[in-house]
Amino acid sequence: MEEWFGPVSDIEFSSFAVAMVISLAASLAAWAMYIVFYRDWDRGAGVYRTFLLAGPAITVLFVAIQNSLPLSLGLLGALSFVRFRTPVKDPAEIGYLLLVIASSISAATYNYELIGLLFAIAFGVLVLQRFLSGSSLRSLLPSGRDLIVTMAAADYAEHEAALLAFLSANLQGMKHESSSQNAETASLHVRFRASAFDDRWGEFQSALAEAVSPAQAEMYVG
């Protein structure tokens, strides 16, 4: 028994206790950052609910195996047969999971400075992201909105050039995504970053109707 469990028992309890406390604190910090910065946390997969358990558990796991080659190989073989099928609805949640895993492994290896540096960088990036998404600089980001314009097929064929000219002049970063048409109606789908009307879609609708007059156009903004 001592041959197998000797390396683990050599760990000082005080060092292990400090590692567990720091791991739990890091998991709590990741949980708080998820709640504050992840805007869809109430609609996501709910991965934040595992942070407070996963962090200390990962720390114990790596403390137990870091000095034992047989345990490390056994864990590698066991995990090769395990698959977690919990869906991650948003790739952004993976970043928070990696934050918990990285901080837990750092705590298990007693690299506490790395945890502080990791969370400082992560916090700064999230604050910057929140600032950019809430300011006029958001137009520089690659995200955008969708606009679908639907017209009668005959009217679209006649006013397509005027419609595209109007959209190009009033939508920043416009990209023509797709067009569809049947015997009765035609639809144009474009993606854009910002609008010259600044969310005044009533005025936008009136200006669009004037640009394609006398045709009638319906629009959907997503």
For residue 183, what pLDDT is reported?
A: 79
**Contact in structure between 196 and 207 (CB atoms under 8 Å):** no
Q: Which of 71, 100, 134 is the last residue of a domain?
A: 134
Say if residues 52 and 27 touch (Cβ distance below 8 Å).
Answer: yes
Same domain? 24 vs 83? yes
Give residue 112's pLDDT. 92
pLDDT of residue 163: 84
Based on the fold, state whether residues 126 and 149 are members of the same structural domain: no
pTM over 0.85: no
pLDDT at residue 57 tops 80: yes
| Mean pLDDT along residues 33-60 | 80
Position of tokens 């970053």?
Answer: 193
C-alpha pair distances (Å), 118 with each of 25, 49, 121: 13, 21, 5
In a shared domain, residues 50 and 119:
yes
Q: What is the pLDDT of residues 62-103, one digit of tens each?
A: 887 776 656 655 565 555 545 555 555 567 788 888 899 999
Per-residue pLDDT tens over the stretch 114-164: 999 999 999 999 898 888 765 544 444 445 778 888 888 888 888 888 888
The whole-number average pLDDT for the span 21-27 is 93
* Model pLDDT, residue 20: 92
pLDDT over 60 (residue 107) = yes
Q: What pLDDT shows up at residue 115? A: 93
Q: Which domain holds residue 178?
A: 141-221
Same-domain pairing of 39 and 88:
yes
Residues 186, 167, single domain; the answer is: yes
Q: What confidence tens digit (pLDDT) does each residue in 169-197 have?
A: 888 877 878 788 887 888 888 888 777 66
CATH number (domain holding residue 153): 3.30.70.260
Indicate if the pLDDT at residue 29 is higher than 90: yes
- Residues 89, 151, single domain; the answer is no
Among the candidates 134, 168, 197, a domain finishes at 134
**Least trusted range by pLDDT, from 5-9, 164-168, 170-174:** 5-9
Mark whether 85 and 101 lie in a shared domain. yes
The whole-number pLDDT of residue 30 equals: 92
- Whether residue 79 sits in one domain with residue 34: yes
Instruction: Assess whether 62 and 164 both reside in one domain.
Output: no
Whether 11 and 119 map to the same domain: the answer is yes
Per the CB < 8 A criterion, the answer to whether 153 and 186 are in contact is yes
Whether 20 and 86 map to the same domain: the answer is: yes
Domain count along the chain: 2
Tokens representing 99 are: 């934050």
Which of 134, 155, 188 lies at the terminal end of a domain, its last residue? 134
Do 18 and 55 share a domain, yes or no? yes
Whether the link from the prior residue into 214 is cis, omega within 30° of 0, is: yes
